[in-house]
Amino acid sequence: MNDNSLNKYWEAETSLQEEQQLMNEWMGKDSSEAEYFKTIHTTRQQRSKLTIADIKAYNKKHETASTGTLVLPLYRWVASAAAILVFVVSAVGLWNYSQQTTQQTQMAETFEDPQEAYQELREALAFMSTKFNKTQDEAFGNIKKASVYADMFK
């Protein structure tokens, strides 16, 4: 057995005569490569016995089997309906949530009674004052800490 011709075969560089010679050499041996060549030989023999009529009959047989009615299983319909239901429920929930957040209690822009307007203004200014004082106290505390650290590095 010529290893060079076997390598040429595996690289698909052999001619038909060289392939026939390899098959003839391997037909009498027992190994995995010999089984491969035997399988190729029997396949080629069977393929050479096929006629156009056999191929057409095979295609016709498989053509009629594949054109049967299409029946979708029930679970696909149920899964689709469930997905649509989840989408609709989510949309309704999101719409309700957006309606709740936009309908918060808002201050009136105009007041009939000046005392009422004055009281609302006092509450708003008191709220701002507490937030401002808290922020101002935090800022002063941070400035003091920074000056302590600055004195440490002098």
DSSP per position, 115-148:
HHHHHHHHHHHHHHHHHHHHHHHHHHHHHHHHHH
Which pLDDT tens digit goes with each residue over 19-73? 778 777 777 777 777 777 778 777 777 766 777 887 788 788 777 554 555 556 7
Residue in the structure block whose two tokens are 């708003």 = 124
Which pLDDT tens digit goes with each residue over 12-28? 788 888 877 877 777 77
Q: Among candidates 48, 46, 42, which has minimal Cα distance to 23? A: 42
Under a CB-based contact definition with an 8 Å cutoff, are residues 120 and 105 in contact?
no
Alpha-carbon gap, residue 123 to 129, rounded angstroms:
10
Under a CB-based contact definition with an 8 Å cutoff, are residues 108 and 124 in contact?
no
Alpha-carbon gap, residue 127 to 131, rounded angstroms:
6
